[in-house]
Amino acid sequence: MRRSRKEESVETCHISGCDEAGERSMPRKKVKDALEKKMEGEGKRTQLCKTHYREYKKATKVERKLEQLRR
């Protein structure tokens, strides 16, 4: 028997349209700036699945590299 999403203790990824299980909790604002995706849920922190966490890490890495190059 499948439980509904609300009853599950594991939160799902907060990226809109994504149903993967949340792996990491990240500051919402940072994720929004980095990924520029629609997000569900409320609060200061947001859940990211493995895939989106990787995307987020990639996005922030690129950003950091560009900042270094600007020097």
Q: Given the rule CB under 5 A, which residues bind Zn ion? A: 13, 15, 18, 20, 49, 52
Contacts of 54 (CB under 8 A, 6+ apart): none
- Taking the least distance from each CB to Zn ion, the nearer of 16 and 62 is 16
Minimum distance, C-beta of residue 35 to Zn ion, in the bound complex (Å): 10
- Taking the least distance from each CB to Zn ion, the nearer of 21 and 65 is 21
- Taking the least distance from each CB to Zn ion, the nearer of 50 and 61 is 50
- Positive or negative: CA dihedral 9, 14, 19, 23: negative
Check if the beta carbon of residue 47 is closer than 8 Å to that of residue 56.
Answer: no
